[in-house]
Amino acid sequence: MADASKVDFVTLNGGRPMIDKTSLVIWMTTLTIGVCSLIWATGTANPERYMAVTALISFAIAVIGLREIISLDQQGASISAVSAATARYMGLVYAWGAVALFVTYFFILPAWHEWPVFCAAFAVVAAVSLLFAAIMSKDAERGKDDPTLLKIGRILTIVQFAGTIIAVIGLMIDPDKQFLNPERRDWAAQTVFLFGAIALAAISAAALFYTRDRVPAA
């Protein structure tokens, strides 16, 4: 049976799932500062500043997510709890991407006709990820694991990891992706895509490593 120090990290009084308070405060502070900084960087039309802000927020979410995943694993949390944290931070990366595109192209930069599609797609994936995290949290609360959902989640994580690696390589080597060229209307979006993909790759890799050989048989 897990000791009290392990349970307290995952649950509140009454057994309700929670996010580590320190992580939540840091993430909310980072997001608030990030949105304000993004507006400032976009308004100056300075690609270097925009890239720095986008990288900072994406990596901050990834670092906080990795910290929670590793902490849960070290404290002996169930695979459902680890999977919930993984899905939660993946969802936050996608949510940040949607917010960044919306703020950038709806309010400030000249219209890039494809931004609504990507913004909506990121928002949908974020919602699905957070829903999956909520389901996994309930399983962790009950002390039960759903083998089918865990296997589906692992398969999707593998696919996402491979996809993000391909995306990063493609963005880096494609001569048409000019991150520092404000003459191109998609320069800001490409920056969001690049650092978001790196953050997702890091979270996916950690999730696959720390849940290896732990998925129960269906």
Q: Tell whether 65 is covered by a domain.
A: yes
Query: Rounded to an integer, what distance in angstroms lies between the CA atom of residue 18 and that of residue 202?
Result: 23
Tally of residues, the chain: 218
Query: Rounded to an integer, what distance in angstroms lies between the CA atom of residue 196 and that of residue 113?
Result: 20
Reported as a single tens digit per residue, the pLDDT across 150-176 is 888 899 999 999 999 999 998 888 766
Backbone angles phi, psi at 217, to 5 degrees: -70, 140
Checking if the pLDDT of 57 tops 50, the result is yes
Q: Tell whether 205 is covered by a domain.
A: yes
Question: How many structural domains are present in the chain?
Answer: 1
Reported as a single tens digit per residue, the pLDDT across 80-122 is 889 999 999 999 999 999 999 998 988 888 778 899 999 999 9
Reported as a single tens digit per residue, the pLDDT across 19-48 is 556 656 766 777 788 888 888 888 777 888
Determine the average pLDDT of the residues in 170-185.
Answer: 77
> Which pLDDT value is given to residue 19?
52
Q: Tell whether 55 is covered by a domain.
A: yes
> Which pLDDT value is given to residue 94?
94
Query: Rounded to an integer, what distance in angstroms lies between the CA atom of residue 67 and that of residue 75?
Result: 12
Q: Tell whether 218 is covered by a domain.
A: no
Determine the average pLDDT of the residues in 139-147.
Answer: 85
Q: Tell whether 42 is covered by a domain.
A: yes
Q: Tell whether 130 is covered by a domain.
A: yes
For residue 41, the enclosing domain spans 9-210
Q: Tell whether 54 is covered by a domain.
A: yes
DSSP 39-90: HHHHHTT-HHHHHHHHHHHHHHHHHHHHHHHHHHHHTT--HHHHHHHHHHHH
Q: Tell whether 217 is covered by a domain.
A: no
